[in-house]
Amino acid sequence: AQTVTQSQPEMSVQEAETVTLSCTYDTSESDYYLFWYKQPPSRQMILVIRQEAYKQQNATENRFSVNFQKAAKSFSLKISDSQLGDAAMYFCAYRRTSYDKVIFGPGTSLSVIP
Amino acid sequence: DAGVTQSPTHLIKTRGQQVTLRCSPKSGHDTVSWYQQALGQGPQFIFQYYEEEERQRGNFPDRFSGHQFPNYSSELNVNALLLGDSALYLCASSLGVTTDTQYFGPGTRLTVL
């Protein structure tokens, strides 16, 4: 069964600095999708970035980028120029290509220090 | 463009009661998935509806059931509520059963006393 692990329950970063959130996953599939979702106190789960496993190029979305290491089954999220609005729970998630069920990790709580 | 909406926002029930939660998918989406998120944890998949049928189901008992209507909106029903059913219930919509990205609603906070 696929699993997603986030080993950092809590992280903090100074405003304008860079922070990296870690994620590892376990799967026997060769094709799949990986996601980072952000959940602020408002509870709305917001898609931050997605990565297709068959693409070697790391995905980027403005200040957010990933380091996707397929062989190591690692999918870390880098947030550059951190802003106060980045404070939230961040969930790493996995989806097998042929199915739409999303498997979430336990989450990392990110605090941004002014 | 309306996103995913859920109602009610909050709900308080007592053990043994039944509850119905509602979800309207994002405009243009035809697939609805439901997740349970216990406090401090990641969401857990309950089931998915497409073409008014349950297509996939997670590891949840039969007390959890659902329905999808012709307009693609969906309901989640939970019977014989237990204290452990207290959680945030999230609805997510997507287009088709194999598209890779789901869009989430704000959730319904259910408290069972």
- Whether residues A99 and B102 touch (CB distance < 8 A) is answered with no
Each residue's pLDDT tens digit, A31-46: 899 999 999 988 889 9
Torsion-angle region of residue B52: left (phi > 0), alpha (psi -120 to 50) or beta? Answer: left
Of A33, A42, A43, the CB nearest to B100: A33
Q: What is the rounded CA–CA span in Å between residue A108 and residue B81?
A: 30
CB pair distance less than 8 Å for A100 and B104: no
Report pLDDT digits (tens) over A32-87. 999 999 999 888 899 999 999 988 889 888 999 999 999 999 999 999 999 999 99
Q: What is the mean pLDDT of each successive set of 10 residues along chain B, which is 113 residues long?
A: 90 97 94 94 94 91 97 97 97 79 92 97
- Using a CB-CB distance cutoff of 8 angstroms, which residues of chain B are in contact with residue A103? 45
Rounded CA-CA distance B100/B94 in Å is: 8
